[in-house]
Amino acid sequence: MLVAIKGEFRKSGATFHSVAEVGAFNVPDDAGKVGDGPDVFVEDILNAAQDMADPRLARILAQEAGDAMQYLEKYGVTFEKSGNGYLVFQACFSSRPRSHVIPEHFKPIVKALGQEASRRQIGVLDRTMIVDLIVRDGQCVGVIALGADGVPLIIRSKSTILTTGGASQIFAKNLYPSHITGDGYAMAYPAGARLANLEFMQAGVSTLTPFVNLFGNYLWDAQPRLTDRNGKPFLADYLPAGLSPEAVIAQKAKHFPFSASDISRYIEIAIQQAINDGRGSDEGGVYMDFIDCDFETLFADKTRSITNYVGNSDLGITGIIPRGELFRVPLTDGRTVWRISRLVGMRLGIILWSPIAGEFAGYKETDRPCQSGTVLAKHGRHVHVRAR
Ligand SMILES: Cc1cc2nc3c(=O)[nH]c(=O)nc-3n(C[C@H](O)[C@H](O)[C@H](O)COP(=O)(O)OP(=O)(O)OC[C@H]3O[C@@H](n4cnc5c(N)ncnc54)[C@H](O)[C@@H]3O)c2cc1C
């Protein structure tokens, strides 16, 4: 067996690219003890897809997820535990809590499987890009590749398995690493393969600067304000009559991906319209700020989704995500703002970080009050602290 990888061995792919706080691995093993099982999982998938998903594929996923988790555990991937069982949470579009939690997103999967591949002495050619399939009489008999030095290679094989990931780089703004460019589709289609389900992809509000990160849907629970390049709130300008920004945002707090199935869709539509109208930031996004959000009241209410995910003390870290994302910072004008770590949809009005996130992002926490407009820089990256 030979594995050819365009990126670096054990360090490439979307699976290695941590752009969310944790990886959610869905297994319908009823860890939450609320009557989950493969049939419920399949039903959830088909409901969310509004009957456009292939039930055969949904069944394979639901039935094999448990075995896949055990396989990964066998090779050293750790899933978070709670008491004697697994920690699970109810993710977007799920009717039961079944998302098992891998800290560090999915990096541990690549590390564990890479280590096992090395132990088994499986041949690896990394920094090697497969550019075409060699097909004779309808059979794939090998591939043409380019090595890191640009020298072409022919690799002959009895069987060829393409696992080149998705095609997110066809979008100007995306959450994927630069080498995920749909190469598998581009090679397989001219070779005669039938491609299916290409329309199933996730789009959602994410942060653009100072680092790219998925914007956790539970944070919408704080009712942040979306503003344009001039600091003017714009959501209400693009809503149909009768809909309030609060109602639309409340729905958005229930799921990350864009969905046409509820009124949360008006958030993404409004953002795009604001950008189309020339109201976007220089980076091609918009701003979001939490300055007027009343976190004290919010965190006091344990039924709120944000309370389940985010810690509730200055630097406190509690809840399902073991890393704090929000904490208080005194401004020199006497006001307090809430800092947000490791995220930022687009570009936020206030972009801040926690000590732990700082470690992750290369930033260092500072105890001194931040002045409005202060720009702090470390490792050549800038963080804007903007207060109104
Ligand atoms: C922000 C974010 C959050 C996510 N959260 C979750 C989640 O919570 N739960 C979940 O289930 N999924 C989640 N996903 C999706 C999940 O990460 C991906 O579906 C998964 O990692 C894809 O794995 P893969 O092995 O198919 O591809 P990748 O991990 O992308 O691997 C593709 C590999 O192919 C190589 N390659 C590409 N082209 C070539 C070529 N021409 N020649 C040789 N090698 C090539 C690349 O170098 C890479 O090593 C998330 C994705 C993102 C971006």
What is the rounded average pLDDT of the residues 159-175? Answer: 89
State the closest ligand 1 atom to the C-alpha of 23, by its place in the atom list counted from 1: 8
Query: How confident is the model at residue 18, as a pLDDT?
Result: 81
296 is a domain residue: yes
Residue 105 pLDDT class (50, 70, 90 cuts): confident
CA distances from 224 to 227, 288, 291, 378 (A): 10, 6, 8, 27
End residue of a domain, out of 41, 75, 104? 104
Beta carbons of 145 and 4 less than 8 angstroms apart: yes
Average pLDDT of span 261-275? 92
Q: Is the pLDDT of residue 266 over 90?
A: yes
Same domain, 358 and 227: yes
Q: Which residues line ligand 1 (CB under 6 A)?
A: 4-7, 12-15, 19-20, 23-24, 106, 129-130, 163-165, 175-176, 179-180, 183, 214
pLDDT at 317: 27
Is the CB of residue 18 less than 8 Å from the CB of residue 80? Answer: no
In the chain, the amino acid numbered 45 is: I
Higher local confidence (pLDDT), 305 or 97 = 97
Residue 222 lies in a domain: yes
Alpha helices (H) in the chain, listed in sequence order: 38-48, 55-74, 107-119, 183-188, 245-252, 265-276, 295-300, 305-309, 355-361
By the 8 A CB rule, do 321 and 342 touch?
no
From the alpha carbon of 110, which atom of ligand 1 is closest?
Answer: 29
Residue 11 belongs to some domain of the structure: no
Is 111 within a domain?
no
The rounded Å distance from CA 73 to ligand 1 centre is 19
Q: What is the pLDDT of residues 110-157, one digit of tens each?
A: 999 999 999 999 999 999 999 999 999 999 999 999 999 999 999 999
Q: How far is the CA of 338 from the centre of ligand 1 (A)?
A: 33
Is residue 199 situated within a structural domain?
A: no
Q: Is 377 in a helix, a strand, or coil?
A: strand
The token pair that represents 49 in the structure block: 């897809």
Probe target for ligand 1 pocket from 2, 5, 87, 202, with the most ligand atoms within 8 Å of CB? 5
Instruction: Tell me: cis bond preceding 210? Omega within 30 of 0 counts.
Output: yes
Of the residues 37, 70, 104, which one is the last residue of a structural domain?
104
Domain endpoint, select from 40, 74, 104: 104
Q: What is the pLDDT of residues 332-376, one digit of tens each?
A: 444 444 444 333 222 322 232 222 222 223 333 333 333 333 222
Q: Which residue has the higher pLDDT, 290 or 325?
A: 290
Cβ contacts of residue 151 below 8 Å, gap of 6+?
none
What CA–CA distance (Å, rounded) separates 277 from 7? 38
CA of 165 to the centre of ligand 1 (A): 5
C-alpha 255/C-alpha 97 separation (Å) is 14
- Number of separate domains in the chain: 2
Is pLDDT of 238 > 80?
Answer: yes
Query: What's the mean pLDDT when you consider all of the chain?
Result: 78
Name the residue with the closest Cα to ligand 1, atom 3.
20
* 210 and 98, same domain (yes or no): no
Average pLDDT on 2-12 reads 95
3-state secondary structure 55-87: HHHHHHHHHHHHHHHHHHHHCCCCCCEECCEEC
Which percentage of the chain shows pLDDT scores above 70? 76
Residue 281: per-residue pLDDT: 82
The per-residue pLDDT for 308 is: 57
- Tell me what pLDDT residue 227 has: 86
Does the residue 265 lie in any domain? yes
Q: Which atom belonging to ligand 1 lies closest to the Cα atom of 165? A: 27
Choose from 19-23, 260-264, 306-310 the range with maximum mean pLDDT: 260-264
Distance 14 CA to ligand 1 centre (A): 3
Q: Which of 319, 367, 332 is nearest to 80 (CA)?
A: 319
Residue 322 resides in a domain: yes
Does residue 138 belong to any structural domain of this protein?
Answer: no
Q: At what angle do helices 107-119 and 55-74 cross, to 10 degrees?
A: 70
| Atom from ligand 1 closest to the CA of residue 206 | 1
State in Å: Cα 232 to ligand 1 middle. 37
Instruction: Using the predicted structure, report yes or no on whether residue 23 has a pLDDT greater than 90.
Output: no
Report residue 374 as tokens.
Answer: 């202060």
- 255 versus 320: which is more confidently predicted? 255
Atom number, ligand 1, closest to the C-alpha of residue 129: 42
Cα(22) to centroid of ligand 1, in Å?
15
Confidence of residue 181 (pLDDT cuts 50, 70, 90): very high
Closest ligand 1 atom, residue 175 Cα = 53
Domain that holds residue 210: 206-384
Angle at 287 between CA 303 and CA 310, to 5 degrees: 25
Predicted pLDDT at 307: 58
Q: Which residue has the tokens 């910072």?
A: 329
Residues in CB range of 136: below 8 A, 6 or more apart:
none
